[in-house]
Chain A
């Protein structure tokens, strides 16, 4: 299965250290003597993967059963509780799948969805059977038969209404209790009155009963509700399945020398922590011992690896790259950088005005108008005829016919189709409100590192020939430093031809190796080849030297995200104001902004970012914030709407309204375009719903609505609205690139694909 190889990941050193305690913690007892563990394996993507993973895991001792869920990209493993947890994660890594524990506690497997589907099934059953009986009545049944059929309908409708209607009644009651109204209030009133009136008519051998109307209405509305929920849940699952980039715990050394793996929450100020290369700093800390380099890109937006040695202070969330460090915690988790960001996000949240969704705004106008019309109809007929029963019947018919069936579907249907479209393009939408807000924006604020750029260096130029490149790549393969990975990726072709011995990495300097009796150094110029002239100040330089003589030098640059230029051009064409807001140093930000022709602000603190975005809002503009770093998180919340790439920090992915999984930055203009087209269709649908009422309501007021007319009118208007919504799925988007096979769900930042292939 070649497709499996492309999605494979290099063994994840962090995951390898997920200790048995942690697995124990994340597992639960399913039966006597059996425990179940759920793993998230983002690289699962085909039938071959299923088979490979299930056979491998089932072969492990102690494993009772392993089952892959392809839709959610998870594996659930049942194992015998008597043994220590079998090495699932190692086994998966060996066959090329990165895996991490899936926190079932945060899952709460979707009770709502099951409830909705059940309610939908019951409503569907009831609606079809009642309609069957109603059609017989409409075709002119004799009075005795008609009464019998009405009673049968009532018998079916009552339990169905009680069961399936709950969802609407509950929400309507919630709203009423808080003195508000929402779309569910007129729905509930209409459905209940229709049922009540029909029951009354049935008891008194009346000619018309509206059981079919009230249940069919529920059925249609439940379809919309269920699809809406399924779509959002799918987006949530996809986002939750991404690798957890925050530190989960750390190896703490007790004063007596004992080493314990503690979860982050248990780490206290003053504890000594051993931090291996490849681990993230769990809490704010001070370096006691060791030399290394740190990747701060996710925390501060700083694009170059930062050296760290004794006495340096580290912020929680930075990634230790090259050497092991002994650090001492200077703050507990709740006082660390991450917690501070969460507090700032809360502050930004409270400062943002609450957005009211279109459907809620519409229903606020709609409900009073409808109820007033019904009341006036009743009064009017009382004046004309003075017959309470007849006046009441017509007033209720008005309520039934205006029951916002089309309105209730008008908005969600469009948003479901839009979310589906975006899903196919690898963009996850958290909820429909996000699409409405996205359609309103007039400016876009980009973070730089990790958003406009990939957040990882790429080899831009090198002196020397293909052989020196291959040689450098072969040596670089043994280091986790970002430059080494970039080199390994660039020169992976001839990598196999060298026999490397005595390889060692020197933190903050480079890698040393022996090949065929010669002594090679790859790393900083002043360390590898002290005689060679240093590189330019701005682009960091790495050289390869043999026995102290310079062989080749390599320049790196943070690579632009694919299609960045096209995306920026598309956004400019849409008339959006764009700016770059970065925590990185001025020089790289300026260079990038100049290249893209964008205004920029560099060296911005997280608080300033958030304040800047809030200021844009205060000036009456609506901004889309796109960012991936922890330092962007408060700004994401402060912005009108926000997007984050899949490689973003965990809290950003949770805070962002949209998450894009593919690498291409074209996701941004694509999402905006779909959102805007959805807005047009939503407006059309609302107009359709209103014009339907303009025709139907006068008819109802005149007393001309029979159950047959009501059924045709309501089904007809619902179908028109749904049909209009589906147009969004059919019409072609303006040309966009073929989806890239890379990245997918696996965050490319940690494991470039080329590197994984080169490593095997």
Chain B
């Protein structure tokens, strides 16, 4: 009956991880060019992630 004592924190932490992950993708500019990302997947050549954008805030 007291299962929720650990289930609830687990649920919250998992949710928080998701939130933090989303914030990270947002900050690293992964939503800047959604159309382009859809096309780039078709390219054969290696497509490395962009270097850190920290010094070039956009």
- Which B residues are CB-close (under 8 A) to A68? 36
Minimum C-beta distance from A269 to chain B (A) = 40
Residues of B close to A122: CB separation below 8 A: 19
Contacts of B40 in A (CB 8 A): 47, 50
**A70 and B36: CB pair below 8 A?**
yes
* Chain A residues touching B, range: 20 to 34
A51's contact among B12, B23, B43, B51, by CB below 8 Å, is which? Answer: B43
Chain B CB within 8 A of A114 CB: yes
Q: How far is the CA of A344 from the CA of B41 in the complex (A)?
A: 50
Cβ contact within 8 Å between A47 and B43: yes
Does residue A533 face the partner (Cβ distance < 8 Å to B)? no
Identify B19's interface contact among A69, A109, A125, A145, CB under 8 A: A125
Would you call A587 an interface residue if the criterion is a C-beta within 8 Å of the partner chain's C-beta atoms?
A: no
- Report the nearest B residue to A132, measured CB to CB: B11
Interface residues of A in 197-250 (CB under 8 A from B): none
The distance in angstroms between the C-alpha atoms of A67 and B50, with both chains bound, is 9
- Whether B36 contacts A71 by the Cβ 8 Å rule is yes
**In the bound complex, do residue A109 and residue B39 qualify as a contact, i.e. CB atoms below 8 Å apart?**
no
A70 B11 Cβ-Cβ under 8 A: no
Contact in complex: A71, B22 (CB < 8 Å):
no
Complex Cα spacing A732 to B35, Å: 26
Interface hits, A86-139 → B, CB 8 Å: 109, 114, 117-118, 121-122, 125, 128-129, 132-133, 136
The binding surface of chain A is classed by DSSP as helix
Asked whether B26 lies within 8 Å of A117 as measured between CB atoms, the reply is yes
Give the Cβ gap from A415 to chain B, nearest Cβ, in Å.
22
Query: Is A72 close to B, CB under 8 A?
Result: yes
Closest to B9 in A: A152
- CB neighbours of A114 from chain B (8 A): 26
Residues of B within 8 Å of A312, CB to CB, are none
Q: Are B33 and A72 in contact (CB under 8 A)?
A: yes
Interchain CA distance A340-B12 in the complex, whole Å:
61
Check A47 against B39 for contact (C-beta < 8 Å).
yes
A71 contacts which of B18, B34, B56 (Cβ < 8 Å)? B34
| Contact among B11, B22, B39 for A129, CB-based, below 8 A | B11
Q: Whose C-beta in chain A lies nearest to the C-beta of B45?
A: A51
In the complex, which residues of chain B have a beta carbon less than 8 angstroms from the beta carbon of A71? 32-36
- Find out whether the CB atom of A125 lies under 8 angstroms from the CB atom of B16: yes
Q: Complex: how many Å from CA A593 to CA B22?
A: 57
Please tell me if the beta carbons of B56 and A70 are within 8 angstroms of each other in the complex. Answer: no
Taking CB atoms and an 8 Å cut-off, the chain A residues in 19-38 that contact chain B are 30-31, 36
Question: What would 7 A/B residue contacts be, using CB atoms closer than 8 Å?
Answer: A30-B55, A31-B55, A47-B43, A50-B40, A51-B43, A70-B33, A128-B15
Give the top 7 A-B pairs by smallest Cβ distance, nearest first: A47-B39, A70-B36, A70-B35, A69-B33, A125-B19, A30-B56, A71-B35
Known A47-B40, A65-B51, A136-B4; further 18 A-B contacts with Cβ < 8 A: A31-B55, A31-B56, A47-B42, A47-B43, A67-B50, A68-B36, A69-B36, A71-B36, A114-B26, A117-B26, A118-B23, A121-B19, A121-B26, A125-B16, A125-B18, A128-B15, A129-B15, A152-B8
